[in-house]
């Protein structure tokens, strides 16, 4: 079945098969691009990667640390937060190299021999046990014939693995550091308490040391006085010793004299005095006896003459006799008493002479003992005098030392005072340091370490290799090449334009109409393909679908104008526009000249409008307006081209009509 449409560069009719092919071309292009490039992370399992673990575990604090093995397990098995999404194989160096060369592996991750040692090198460098901190490295290698994005995927996987393990190591290290702050703060607090106690003790010591110079000075003065007194004591003791020796000599002489007296008293005087005393005693006793007898006679006479009361004399003569007898009796009694006294005295003299002789003997013995004792005392006084002299010398030395002690005590007092001040300052500083250091519980230290180890986290990022702009870019590109395909198959300017009586504008619109319809259908089909792949919400998809339809119509108009104005070169220009659109839409690091050119291309408004429909980016209205403007300008250019084709030179009329572009 043929249609009344002119085929470009051929007079063969356009069939429905041709139109279906043109309609489906952007759908196929868009479908292939979206299926191949949209969210490739979901299909990373198709990538085959090998892990070569050459790491040698190390021992830290008595515990084996196989970090290479842990990293390998993390890559192969993944984690709760980030599951493994590549097909991993545990391999060795030779097998990995061979597999990379023959295509068995798309990438190889190599963990070096010193990985664990380097990763844990911060422990020895931080705790003072020695060692130089070193970064642990892993290498990523892709096949020489790997595809464009394979290198980026491999590098991203290796970087993510290194980052996760590095964060874990940093977290453990920082957790220990934060807990160390707590321990250090506690120890500084204890040190501050001890320093305060030391400061108090030093202050008390300073007070005592300040009193020490005065005491040492008093000691020096007392020692000087002691020396002077000891000197005087030595002199006095010397004189006393001399006097004692003189007393010793006198005691010797006294003992000798007493001995002589004792001898004389015992030998001569004692015998003479003893005999006289014995005779006196016998005479006195006889006189006493006679007197007592006479006294008895007188008593009888007194009684006979009534002289003893209560009897009384009867006559005067008898009274005179009583008086005379009484006087005689009294005299006789007195004589008897005196005779008794004389006998007693004589007896006492006799006894006293014996006692005197014994006493003189005792005095003689005492004088001899006194002489001996005085000698001993004199010797002791000599020794005491010598000791007093030594005491005086020692006291003088003590006075000198006490004077030096006073000077040293003054210096000591100043030093202890400075020590007290410095210790108080140290205690205050330790208090400030203790209160300034943070204190953490185990949970707080763990939470803080996890944040500090990874302090910045990006939100709103995607794990996909292509951002939200991928769909608008691919859709725009598919529709652009769909418009180009329309005017590869269809005639941009009617062949009968020269002979037609219709206006140039009508001819241009009639040539655009089938391409515009195809473009609108292409836009709708591309929107359906996009929805099947991405699954946007209804509001966003309807906006996107409407813009895709407008873009299909606008691109058809622009491609018609390019072919109508430039002929076959117009198709080349259209292809170049598509390439520039892709080149400037993938990355923002393109040269500024290309970005400026891309901003002027008809594809830019369509891309901006579609991006605004699917994301929060603005510019939907401006993009829509831009597409309409480009479509209008393209239609005007096509009308001009049609009008130009409707004029010809006479020579051209005579020549055979060529197949129009």
**Does residue 354 share a domain with residue 481?**
no
Strands 13-15 and 2-6: antiparallel
Q: How far apart are alpha carbons 583 and 105 in whole angstroms?
A: 30
Whole-angstrom Cα distance, residue 521 to residue 505?
24
Alpha-carbon distance 31 to 33, whole Å? 5
CA atoms within 13 Å, Cβ hemisphere of 459: 1
Indicate if 552 and 639 belong to the same structural domain. yes
Assess contact for 26 and 548: CB atoms under 8 A. Answer: no
Q: Give 522-570 as a DSSP string.
A: HHHHHHHHHHHHH---HHHHHHHHHHHHHHHHHHHHHHHHHHHHHTHHH
Q: Tokens standing for 205?
A: 């010591």
Alpha helices in 103-149 (DSSP H): 115-119, 121-127
162 closest CA partner among 138, 133, 134, 135: 138
Question: CA distances (Å), 657 to each of 11, 510, 651, 661, in order?
Answer: 12, 21, 11, 12
Specify the residue for token string 């709760």. Answer: 80
Strand ordering across the sheet containing 139-142: 87-91, 48-53, 107-111, 139-142
**Kind of pairing, strands 48-53 and 87-91?**
parallel
Q: Are residues 262 and 373 part of one domain?
A: yes
**Both structure tokens of 99:** 């597999």
Residues 487 and 399 in one domain: no
pLDDT digits (tens, 9 = 90+) for 99-132: 888 878 878 888 888 888 887 776 654 454 555 6
Q: In the chain, which residues have pLDDT < 50?
A: 1-3, 125-126, 128, 269, 453-454, 456-465, 658-661
The percent helix, strand, coil of the chain (3-state, each to 5) is 75, 5, 20
Report CA-CA distances (Å) from 484 to 521, 545, 652: 15, 20, 29
Beta partners for residue 90, in sequence order: 51
Rounded CA separation 494/596 (Å): 35
Which pLDDT score, from 0 to 100, does residue 145 have? 54
Is residue 200 one of the residues assigned to a domain?
A: no
582 and 561 Cβ atoms separated by less than 8 Å: no
Beta strand 139-142 with 107-111 is antiparallel
Residue 129, C-beta contacts closer than 8 angstroms, at least 6 positions apart: 123
What the block records as the tokens of 549 is: 């339809």
* Residue 458 pLDDT: 38
Helix boundaries (H) for 437-469: 442-453
Those residues whose C-beta lies under 8 Å from the C-beta of residue 389, and which sit 6 or more positions away, are 230, 231, 234
User: How many Cα neighbours within 13 Å face the side chain of 639?
Assistant: 12
Is 299 domain-assigned?
yes
Please indicate, yes or no, if residue 316 is contained in any of the structural domains.
yes
**Which of 414, 436, 458 is a domain's end point?**
436
Residues 391 and 479 in one domain: no
* Nearest to 624, CA basis, from 509, 523, 521: 523
Domain boundary (436, 451, 485) is at 436
Closest among 477, 486, 570 to 520, alpha carbons compared:
486
One domain for residues 512 and 631: yes
Q: Do residues 363 and 201 make contact, with C-beta atoms less than 8 angstroms apart?
A: no
370 and 321, same domain (yes or no): yes
The reply to whether 15 falls in a domain is: yes
**Which domain range does residue 345 map to?**
225-436
Q: How far is CA 44 from CA 84, 109, 149, in A?
A: 9, 16, 11
Residue 604: inside a domain, yes or no? yes
The number of residues making up the chain comes to: 661
Residues 475 and 406 in one domain: no
What does the angle CA 556 – CA 561 – CA 564 come to, to the nearest 5 degrees? Answer: 120
Is there a domain that residue 129 lies in?
Answer: no
| Residues 431 and 360 grouped into a single domain | yes
Identify the H or E element spanning 578: helix 568-586
Identify whether residues 503 and 428 lie together within a single domain.
Answer: no
CB 652 within 8 A of CB 483: no
pLDDT for residue 462:
45
44, with CB counted inside 10 A (0-12, 13-18, 19+), is: middle
How does pLDDT run across 447-461, given as a tens digit for each residue? 655 555 445 443 434
pLDDT digits (tens, 9 = 90+) for 514-558: 889 989 998 999 889 888 877 888 888 999 999 999 999 999 999
| 328, part of any domain | yes
Least Cα distance to 201 among 405, 425, 414, 419 occurs for 419
Domain co-membership, 548 together with 622: yes
User: Structurally, how many domains does the chain consist of?
Assistant: 2
Residue 216 lies in a domain: no
Name the domain boundary from 436, 454, 476. 436
* Cβ neighbours of 475 (radius 10 Å): 28
- The DSSP string of 600-613 is TSTHHHHHHHHHHH
- pLDDT, residue 548, reads 92
Q: What pTM was estimated for this model as a whole? A: 0.50
Per-residue pLDDT, 188? 61
Chain centroid to CA 104: how far?
52
3-state secondary structure of 514: helix
pLDDT of residue 645: 80
Considering the domain architecture, whether residues 260 and 401 belong to the same structural domain is answered as yes
């Amino acid at each position: 079945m043929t249609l009344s449409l002119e085929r470009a560069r051929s007079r063969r009719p356009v069939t429905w098969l041709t139109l279906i092919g043109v309609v489906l071309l952007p759908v196929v292009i868009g479908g292939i691009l979206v299926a191949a490039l949209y969210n490739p992370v979901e299909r990373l399992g198709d990538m085959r990667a090998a892990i070569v673990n050459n790491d040698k575990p190390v021992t830290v604090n008595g515990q084996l640390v196989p970090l290479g093995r842990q990293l390998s397990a993390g890559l192969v098995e993944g984690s709760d937060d980030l599951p493994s999404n590549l097909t991993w194989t545990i391999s060795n160096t030779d097998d990995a190299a061979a597999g990379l060369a023959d295509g068995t592996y798309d990438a190889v991750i190599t963990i070096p021999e010193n990985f664990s040692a380097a990763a844990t090198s911060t422990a020895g460098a931080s705790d003072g046990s020695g060692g130089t901190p070193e970064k642990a490295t892993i290498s990523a290698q892709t096949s020489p014939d790997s595809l464009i994005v394979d290198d980026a995927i491999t590098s991203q996987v290796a970087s993510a693995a290194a980052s996760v393990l590095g964060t874990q190591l940093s977290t453990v290290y920082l957790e220990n550091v934060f807990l160390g702050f707590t321990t250090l703060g506690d120890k500084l607090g204890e040190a501050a308490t001890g320093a305060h106690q030391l400061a108090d003790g030093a202050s008390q010591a300073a007070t005592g040391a300040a009193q020490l110079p005065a005491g040492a000075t008093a000691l020096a003065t007392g020692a000087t006085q002691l020396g002077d007194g000891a000197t005087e004591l030595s002199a006095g003791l010397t004189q006393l010793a001399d006097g004692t020796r003189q007393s010793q000599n006198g005691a010797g002489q006294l003992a000798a004299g007493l001995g002589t007296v004792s001898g004389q008293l015992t030998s001569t005087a004692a015998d003479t005095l003893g005999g006289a005393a014995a005779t006196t005693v016998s005479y006195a006793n006889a006189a006493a006896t006679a007197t007592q007898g006479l006294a008895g006679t007188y008593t009888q006479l007194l009684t006979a003459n009534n002289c003893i009361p209560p009897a009384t004399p009867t006559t005067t003569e008898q009274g005179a006799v009583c008086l005379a007898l009484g006087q005689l009796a009294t005299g006789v009694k007195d004589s008897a008493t005196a005779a008794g006294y004389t006998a007693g005295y004589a007896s006492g003299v006799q006894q006293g002479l014996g006692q005197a002789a014994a006493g003189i003997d005792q005095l003689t013995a005492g004088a001899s003992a006194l002489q001996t004792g005085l000698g001993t005392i004199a010797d002791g006084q000599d020794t005491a005098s010598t000791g007093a002299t030594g005491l005086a010398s020692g006291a003088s030395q003590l006075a000198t030392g006490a004077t030096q002690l006073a000077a040293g005590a003054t210096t000591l007092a100043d030093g202890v005072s400075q020590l007290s001040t410095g210790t108080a300052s140290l205690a205050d500083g330790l208090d400030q340091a203790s209160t300034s250091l943070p204190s953490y519980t185990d949970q707080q230290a763990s939470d803080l370490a996890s944040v500090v180890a990874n302090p910045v986290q990006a939100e709103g990022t995607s794990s996909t290799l292509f951002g939200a702009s991928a769909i608008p870019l691919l859709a725009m590109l598919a529709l652009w090449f769909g418009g180009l395909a329309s005017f590869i198959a269809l005639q941009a300017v009617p062949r009968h334009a020269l002979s037609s009586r219709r206006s140039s504008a009508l001819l241009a619109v009639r040539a655009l109409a089938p391409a515009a319809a195809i473009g609108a259908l292409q836009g709708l089909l591309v929107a359906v393909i996009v929805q099947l792949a991405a699954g946007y919400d209804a509001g966003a998809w309807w906006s996107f679908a409407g813009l895709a339809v407008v873009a299909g119509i606008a691109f058809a108009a622009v491609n018609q104008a390019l072919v109508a104005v430039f002929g076959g070169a117009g198709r080349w220009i259209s292809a170049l526009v598509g390439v520039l659109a892709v080149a400037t839409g993938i990355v923002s690091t393109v040269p500024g000249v290309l970005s400026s050119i891309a901003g002027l291309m008809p594809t830019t408004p369509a891309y901006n409008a579609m991006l605004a429909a699917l994301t929060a980016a603005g510019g939907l209205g401006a993009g829509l307006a831009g597409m309409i403007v480009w479509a209008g300008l393209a239609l005007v250019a096509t009308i001009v081209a049609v009008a130009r084709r409707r004029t010809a030179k006479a020579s051209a009329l005579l020549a055979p009509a060529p197949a129009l572009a």
